[in-house]
Amino acid sequence: MKFETLSVHAGRDVERATGAVAPPIQLSTTYERDIDGEWSRGFSYSRADNPGRRPLEECIAALEGGEDATAYGSGSAASMAVFSLLRPGEHVIAPIESYHGTAKQLRDVLMPMGVTHTFVDMTRVDAVREALRKETRLVWIETPSNPMLNISDIETIAELAHGRGAMVCCDNTFATPVWQRPLELGADLVMHSSTKYFGGHSDVMGGAVVTRDRGGLSDKLRDYQQTVGSVPSPFDCWLIRRSLTTLSCRVRAQTHNASRIAGFLQSHKNVERVFYPGLDTHPGHAIAQRQMKGGFGAMLSFNVRGGRDAAFAVAAKMQLFIRATSLGGVESLVEHRASVEGPHTVTPQNLLRLSVGLESAEDLIADLDQALG
């Protein structure tokens, strides 16, 4: 089935008992045993499984082309699930420019537990090659990256990592499976913050990890999910599964808007640089064309001429772009990332990140034009 068909139908069946087309929300935390002590109906306790979480996981796995997926209460919980596969003495390679929460987990949670890491410029394959050690167990890729939209070559990096016995996880939150399918390019795991495009309406938190195969990594992640208990609520599962039905429509429309905005910003006198892989001036454009099939996503950033104060002044003048964190919702957002990321940031102080929504592209461009002056 095509992507749009999977979005509607994967894990979403008509309820047999009532014929309901819209899936029900099962709030029960516990389920009745059979007389012989078994659970023949498949559910025992909501931390272990839930009638609403299972369809969500089936759908996410199908959209990424994987065999299994595990859902979590947030994107951060999903990345920690991947890191739970590591053991003391093992080593991680991660991008020097990426979501700051992932880097913080490596520094503040994994390091004290004996898992070391090396941050590298992952746009340079040679940098990844040089960082590989015999202890390297995981190579973490984030492409396009947050917030400077850098592009990493998933296929080449996966070949390098596998040649040294390391697994590869790709954070596919920005691109979504609408535009990029890392498993087809050699990744072993795909991670998402479902809070973003999967939820799509800024009203639910979630995360997911997709595996290429069942068994092995899939079984370990399932055991971690049940043991740690960082699972989404039944209502959260219902909200995200409902939103997945329109994922392709939303992301394609948002990407169209982002592409137009990138072109406008590129020619504005008060913009120093635009970070958007769809522009042919972007250093990763050729790789993005190869691994992002048909579109370049709805996230972009730009440097405001005049420095940090000028960037804050531009954000303050925006009327349609809301000054708020997060991304992927139907409304457009603007954020000064360096001030959010703290002392470890490598983000330029004059950079503003845009999450482009579903408003009229003309209205969004007009808003940016008046704010930039």
Do residues 90 and 115 lie in contact, with contact meaning Cβ atoms separated by under 8 Å? yes
Of residues 12, 53, 196, 222, which has the active-site annotation? 196
C-alpha 105/C-alpha 111 separation (Å) is: 9
Do residues 360 and 261 lie in contact, with contact meaning Cβ atoms separated by under 8 Å? no
Note if 197 is an active site residue. no
C-alpha 283/C-alpha 121 separation (Å) is: 13
At 299, the amino acid letter reads M
C-alpha 157/C-alpha 153 separation (Å) is: 6
Question: Where are the alpha helices (H) located in 210-307, listed in sequence order?
Answer: 217-228, 234-244, 247-266, 285-291
**Strand, helix or coil for residue 221:** helix
Q: Provide the edge-to-edge strand list for the sheet that holds 333-335.
A: 271-275, 299-304, 351-355, 333-335, 322-323
C-alpha 227/C-alpha 149 separation (Å) is: 35
C-alpha 30/C-alpha 47 separation (Å) is: 9
Note if 363 is an active site residue. no
Structure tokens at 93: 């390679």
At 315, the amino acid letter reads A
Of residues 68, 153, 171, 236, which has the active-site annotation? 171
- The DSSP string of 176-210 is HHHH--GGGGT-SEEEEETTTTTT-SSS---EEEE
Please give the sequence-ordered ranges of beta strands (E in DSSP) within 268-338, or none if there are none.
Answer: 271-275, 299-304, 322-323, 333-335
Of residues 12, 53, 72, 99, which has the active-site annotation? 99
Note if 280 is an active site residue. no
Note if 99 is an active site residue. yes
Catalytic residues: 47, 99, 171, 196
